[in-house]
Amino acid sequence: MSPNTPAPTGLAEKAATYRSLTAVDSHSRNRQLRSRILRYCLIGAMIIAVLPLVAIVGQVFINGFGTLSWEFLTQVEMPPRREGGGYLQGIVGTVYMVGIATLVAVPLGILGAVYLVEYGRGILPAIIRFFTDVMTGVPSVFVGLFVYAALVRNFSFSTLMGATGLAIMMLPIIVRSSEEMLRLVPPDQRAASLGLGARKWQTITRIVLPYAAPGLTTGAMLAIARAAGETAVLLLTALGSLRLVTALTGQAQSSITLLIYAGAKQPFEAGKERAWAGALLLLAMVFILTFIARLITARARRG
Amino acid sequence: MPKEPARRNETMLTTRRGATRFGDPIFRGVAVISGLSVLVILGLMIAVTIRDAWPAFQYQGIINFFISDEWRSGFSTTPGEFTGEYGAFSFIYGTLITSAIAVVIALPLAIAVALYITRIAPRRLRNTLSYTVELLAAIPSVVYGLWGLLYFAPRVLRPVMDSLTVLAPIPLIGRLFEGPVVTTSYFSAGVVLAIMILPIITAITREVMAQTPREQIDAAYGMGATDLEVIRKVILRVSFPGIVGATMLGLGRAIGETIAVAMLVGGSQRWGVSLFFGGDALAAHIANTFQDAFPETLTALIGIGVVLFVITIIVNMLARVLVWRIGRIAGDASL
């Protein structure tokens, strides 16, 4: 002990004023109680957060199941006042537009991710990454307005315009998820391929992309699920249609979401019931896609 | 995987030289173009919409476009001629009030759920619980709209709103709760928006909380801190910037949400202080009136789109800067 620290005086008195750590007084009991109250609050919050999911899925199922039939899938929508009929034109339109959008956005998005991971040097990839993230937050109605102003005005509402809008919505999602997946490919795989004399593009197309394939599929499926549930973009680019449309251009196209939107807003019971059935169909599609995507990721992670 | 590459490399050595020699620059070029496509599209979106909205801004005056609350569609079919009044304040107000309601409800709930999942829930339940909450993000917004319009707003929210009007006599904030109550109102849209942005705020908040340094938590417990004290003095303090970022991201989502709000907010062209007023929001107004709009009104609607875009871009950029250093957030709720 150094000479200028005062000697510990009055230890005995101090000990008398201090309490044992294990003694339970009103203060510590209070603290424990507040902590326990918090615990119950958090459990309550968890229950409240799960309720909407149960309520939405339950309501959609209860109201939609009765109307969802073979007829619903194979017949065109009736006037809202009449019963029967179905969402055939919407199903065809959704499959059509989401399909075309996927064909454009998935290769473009994966190649964009290839650039970010395999070629990107300097500040450009950081800029692209940042604005891709920002672009995932661009309101879908704005994307719709853009496609309307740039293209629809000069041509017409059509399947192709709807697909363009959806592709723009899907692109940033696919770029970012693909980038994640490509980063998970071990550098050794690339080095081995290059070492054996493969060129860079061969390494990417034959080693890197196949290795990342399950993850890339997951990202694409999540983007497809997002696109299938999109309404606002289509309202401004495909517009909606009462008939079955198979033309790519020149004719306004319908979708499941547009039919649900129209069905919910009109006053007749029959039309509303079909909207519930359409919502059930859409929800089933989206959940199955999401579920399969998860399954692929889980399996890829294990194997 | 080990078998595949070996076999493929063999074939590679025998491929014709001409094809591989030009392969690299071509492939590189394609990749660069694809990478730039996002920037090009974003740039085009800004340029085209501003160009097309300009006549409306010019006619109304930019300041006036923001602060005037008179929106009267014109019916001129001559290109470039304006006859209506285009002041977007009512819709700006609607967007702000509905998103504010959404954040006020969703943020505390999201923090509580994230805390429950990271701290309290049994370890084997954690993944299932976060997955369940994030499944909310997979539900299409038109389904939220349908459910809100036909079930949730009339059956559940209507009684809630009716009983909240007892708060009306309170000075100042009482005005927010004044009747008359309409079923499709700022409040209905705001509550449904809260459900919609809950998964994204929860996902990021949970991710941020999971990164709290283990030693700090252990140290706090070691000093005798209770769960509450660890949460308040360690976890929330460390996670604060991330939570702000998550909130901004949720706010951006709420501001840009279109269809669900269009179905629930009321659809009038005016605004009111009361939360139970049936007004309209920026994105919702575009969706609600687009189909019947004359050319001049369309120009003004694109103007609304530009305002909406500027607001969401600012909010999103702030959010990304805040969430940036936390790195990539797992889970599709954040996409």
Q: Report the C-alpha gap between B51 and B160 in whole angstroms.
A: 45
DSSP B72: E
Note the pLDDT tens digit of each residue in A155-177: 999 999 999 999 999 999 999 99
> In a 10 Å sphere around its CB, with 0-12 CB exposed, 13-18 middle and 19+ buried, how is residue A34 labelled?
middle
Note the pLDDT tens digit of each residue in B160-177: 999 999 998 888 888 899
Specify the pLDDT at position A279. 97
Q: Cβ B139–A229 below 8 Å, yes or no? A: yes
Q: Cβ A145–B302 below 8 Å, yes or no? A: yes
Specify the pLDDT at position B9. 47
Specify the pLDDT at position B33. 94
Residue in A with minimal Cα distance to B43: A131
Q: Looking at residues B103-123, what average pLDDT do you find?
A: 95
Chain A residues touching residue B280 (CB < 8 angstroms): none
Handedness of CA B74, B273, B284, B142 (dihedral sign): negative
CA distance A9 to chain B (A): 26
Q: Which of B27, B149, B312 lies closest to A137 in CB terms?
A: B312
A256-270, A281-295, B4-18, B264-278: least confidently modelled range: B4-18
Specify the pLDDT at position B1. 42
> In a 10 Å sphere around its CB, with 0-12 CB exposed, 13-18 middle and 19+ buried, how is residue A10 labelled?
exposed
Q: Is the pLDDT of residue B3 over 50?
A: no
Specify the pLDDT at position B329. 46
Spans in chain A with pLDDT lower than 50: 1-2
- Contact between B198 and B135 (Cβ < 8 Å): no
Specify the pLDDT at position A8. 54
Q: Cβ B41–A168 below 8 Å, yes or no? A: yes
Residues of chain B above pLDDT 70, percent: 90
Specify the pLDDT at position A275. 95
Specify the pLDDT at position A4. 54
Residue in B with minimal Cα distance to A142: B305
Q: Is the pLDDT of residue B317 over 90?
A: no
Q: How many CB pairs under 8 A join A and B?
A: 292
Chain B residues touching residue A132 (CB < 8 angstroms): 38
User: Which of B46, B147, B257 is the best substitution to test chain A (most A C-beta atoms within 10 A)?
Assistant: B147
Residue in B230, B138, B152, B242 with CA at minimum distance from that of residue B188: B152
* pLDDT mean across residues, chain B: 88
* Residue numbers of A between 263 and 282 with CB closer than 8 Å to B: 264-265, 272, 275-276, 279, 282
Chain A residues touching residue B135 (CB < 8 angstroms): 53, 287, 290
**pLDDT confidence bin for B6, thresholds 50/70/90:** very low
